[in-house]
Structure 1
Amino acid sequence: MRRAVALIGLLGIVGAGVSLSVLPTTKTSAAASDNRTFLIPASDGYGVADCLSTKSECGKIVADAWCEAQGFAKAASYGLADREDFTGTLSKARPAASVEQPLVITCGE
């Protein structure tokens, strides 16, 4: 009986080792052809709106870091979002007095 339990335990350990050896060893990431666009409120609390909205060098760093955190390689584009990006299909909207325009980051390859 002890031998049967020991043999089953040994086979379980060997089976676990084999299954772990077939798992991919590289970090998974988004497919290279996939692009994804993120809308970020301008008043997100991190203070990166100035960098992203002016398309300065610090904006590139912030956008690339954002994309890497989301599983993408780098930012394809970034800046202020167009009104169509966040209002949908509204034809005419009443202009808001103090609403900040959101930021957009498009991540890709």
Structure 2
Amino acid sequence: MRRAIALVGLFGIIGAGLSLSILPSTKTVAAASDQRTFLIPASDGYGVADCISSKAECGKIVANAWCEAKGFKMATSFGLADREDFTGTLAKATVTAEPEQPLVIVCG
């Protein structure tokens, strides 16, 4: 009886060792050139527009935190979005008041 228990234990240890040797040992990482641009409304309700639009030191912290929350390492650039970043996809609308310009964060 003891031999049977010892053999079952031995086969269990061998099976566990084999299964661990099959598992990959490294994590997959994004390519270095993988970048994504995020457009954020200036009136998002979190109050980050002042930091990001003025390119203050707090803007760098906020932009890096935004990118880390989205799975990127850090922000490569941030600030006010250019008109070309958010216009041209829809037909022209008649607007009485000039809308707020959105913010842009480029993560990489």
TM-score, normalised via structure 1 length:
0.70
Question: What is the aligned residue count?
Answer: 105
Mapping for residues 1-109 of structure 1, pairs under 5 Å: 9-10=12-13, 12-20=15-23, 22-24=24-26, 28-89=28-89, 93-95=93-95, 97=97, 99-108=99-108
Residue 85 of structure 2 aligns to a residue whose secondary structure is helix
Q: 1:11 to 1:79 in 2, by over 3 A?
A: same
SS of structure 1 residue aligned to 2:75: strand
- Can you list the C-alpha shifts for 1:46-95, whole angstroms capped at 9, x where unaligned? 21111111111110111111122223222111111122211234585534
Question: How far apart in 2 are the matches of 1:18 and 1:75?
Answer: 37
Q: Is the 8 A contact 1:30 1:71 kept in 2?
A: no
What TM-score comes out, normalization by structure 2 length?
0.71
Q: What are structure 2's unaligned runs of at least 5 residues? A: none
Secondary structure of the structure 1 residue equivalent to 2:43: coil
Alpha carbons 1:75, 1:105 under 8 Å: kept = yes
Q: In terms of Rg, which structure is larger?
A: 2
Unaligned 5+ segments in structure 1 are: none
The CA RMSD measured in Å over matched residues stands at 2.8
